[in-house]
Amino acid sequence: MNAERRSGFYDEAAETMSLDARRAMQDGFLGPLVAYACEKSALYRAKLDGAGLAPGDVATLENLARVPVTRKRETEDMGFEGIQAVPYNQARRIFVSPGPQFYAYGPVPQEANPLLRVYHAIGFRPGDIVLNTFSYHWTPAGVNFDDSLGAFGCAVIPAGPGQTELQVQTLSKLDVTGYVGTPSFLKIIAARARELGHDPASFGLEVALTSAEPLPDELRAELQDAYGATVRQLYGSADGLLPCYECWVADGMHVPDLMILEIVDPSSGEPLPAGEPGAVCATVFNPYRPLLRFLNGDRAVLLEGDCPCGRTAPRIRFAGRIEDGVKVRGMFVYAHQVAEVMERFGVERWRAVVEHDAGGLDVFRVELDGAEPGGLREALRAAVRVRADVLGGRPVNDTDVATLRDERTKDEP
């Protein structure tokens, strides 16, 4: 990465504020957030009532830990609305999460969009042409990146995933300097380019922002060597968590100031000190879907010390999953989703496995003890939104019946 892409800040005053200033800013929005969440959500209202708290009792960060945590599964059990706070017909867009659960999104004031700081920190600059390979359908990533990259000053190619030959042609003919998408798809494009007689390093790609999948050090090194580009990652969630992001230093991910992020004991909800891994616990003032000590099932650790980039925000390092969800090609798959489909088709003995193929890409396989019923494959894909290789006539051991196993390399982040 050239020096210009490593220099400066998008908003220096905000990105280098002191700890006291950050706490004062977060204290300022916490009280209104708690009041709003209790007004709009019966779940949050019950949580505070059960703890003997009124909204006014949680006006500062020092009182936040008194609020019981809310686990993602609780909101799914509420039905398709979950903790939605605004009627769907008042939304700008409605996205769909497996379940299904529908998330309403409203217009984001782009001057306050945290992604603008992310782009600068990772190395994007106004005037870049960016290939956006996130899906524009059902999930928020494609549209959100498109809107915010435009506000940042980039020209966006709304490619979405797939059509790898066209992706290669575009990279070979346009001066594309940026990429956003999953790391595995960036690897797939490189492999397809070589098949078509192109060297990925000739494309001129300088910066790649990846998300929705882990970025192990080996894969990062492989992609950077293939393209000659800087590859960084972002951690976020369609649940409403704001993006935590690597800067050009790539030593942990900076936490955006507009999200109060705690690392807590997954059982008790008690905050944990820096250096001790625990559950990601997010508090976000989103008028459409407020989060109040929300656990999305991920595990992370708070890092100590300052980042050499000069940004003063806390940093985390992602450390895997706590709950039973397994991320496959950027989508979470849960054992209960697979089980519901199997029960519908009368399949009693099955197991699901996630592993890597020879190229290091995700493979989702469902093995059945008996024959595959007609229509099961299509129903399974509709339920989990990921294509599965369904294999009938495979003996399933008693210990593996109705399980979802992740057999990928265990030292991945």
CATH of residue 213: 3.40.50.12780
Tell me: do 280 and 139 sit in the same domain.
Answer: yes
Tell me: do 143 and 262 sit in the same domain.
Answer: yes
CB 252 within 8 A of CB 245: no
CB 67 within 8 A of CB 45: no
Tell me: do 390 and 331 sit in the same domain.
Answer: yes
Give the residue from 253, 287, 317 where a domain finishes: 317
Task: List the one residue out of 9, 10, 8, 18 whose CA is nearest residue 306.
Answer: 18
Residue 87 included in any domain = no
Those residues whose C-beta lies under 8 Å from the C-beta of residue 339, and which sit 6 or more positions away, are 402
Classify burial at 173, counting beta carbons within 10 Å of its beta carbon; exposed 0-12, middle 13-18, buried 19 or more: exposed
Those residues whose C-beta lies under 8 Å from the C-beta of residue 295, and which sit 6 or more positions away, are 69, 70, 71, 72, 264, 266, 269, 279, 280, 281, 322
Tell me: do 215 and 255 sit in the same domain.
Answer: yes
Tell me: do 179 and 274 sit in the same domain.
Answer: yes
Tell me: do 310 and 367 sit in the same domain.
Answer: no
What's the predicted TM-score (pTM) here? 0.79
Give the integer Cα–Cα distance in Å for 64 and 269: 11
Residue 80 included in any domain = no
Residue 58 included in any domain = no
CB 161 within 8 A of CB 135: yes
pLDDT of residue 80: 57
pLDDT of residue 323: 62
Give the residue from 282, 317, 352 where a domain finishes: 317
Tell me: do 337 and 310 sit in the same domain.
Answer: no
Q: Classify the phi-psi angles of 94: left when phi > 0, otherwise alpha if psi is within -120 to 50, otherwise beta.
A: beta
Task: List the one residue out of 49, 46, 51 whose CA is nearest residue 78.
Answer: 46
List residues bridging with 403 in a β-sheet. 351
Q: How far is CA 327 from CA 143, 172, 338, in A?
A: 21, 31, 14
Residue 62 included in any domain = no
Q: How far is CA 319 from CA 64, 230, 283, in A?
A: 24, 22, 20
Give the integer Cα–Cα distance in Å for 180 and 178: 7
pLDDT of residue 413: 36
Length of the chain: 413
CB 131 within 8 A of CB 141: no
How many distinct structural domains can be found in the chain? 2
CB atoms within 10 A of CB 218: 12
pLDDT of residue 409: 60
Tell me: do 158 and 199 sit in the same domain.
Answer: yes
Give the residue from 284, 317, 350 where a domain finishes: 317
Give the integer Cα–Cα distance in Å for 257 and 11: 12
pLDDT of residue 403: 83
Domain that holds residue 124: 3-18+93-317
Along the 413 residues of the chain, how does pLDDT read in single tens digits? Answer: 688 899 899 999 999 999 999 999 999 999 999 999 999 998 999 999 999 999 999 999 999 999 999 998 888 766 556 688 888 888 889 888 766 678 888 877 777 789 999 999 999 999 999 999 999 988 889 999 999 999 999 999 999 998 999 999 999 999 999 999 999 999 999 999 999 999 999 999 999 999 988 888 899 999 999 999 999 999 988 788 999 999 999 999 999 999 999 999 988 999 999 999 999 999 999 888 899 999 988 889 999 889 999 999 999 998 777 666 677 877 778 777 788 898 889 898 999 999 888 777 888 999 998 899 999 999 898 888 788 999 998 888 877 888 888 887 643 33
Q: Tokens 């990279």 correspond to what residue?
A: 171
Tell me: do 207 and 302 sit in the same domain.
Answer: yes
pLDDT of residue 412: 39
Those residues whose C-beta lies under 8 Å from the C-beta of residue 395, and which sit 6 or more positions away, are 369
pLDDT of residue 54: 95
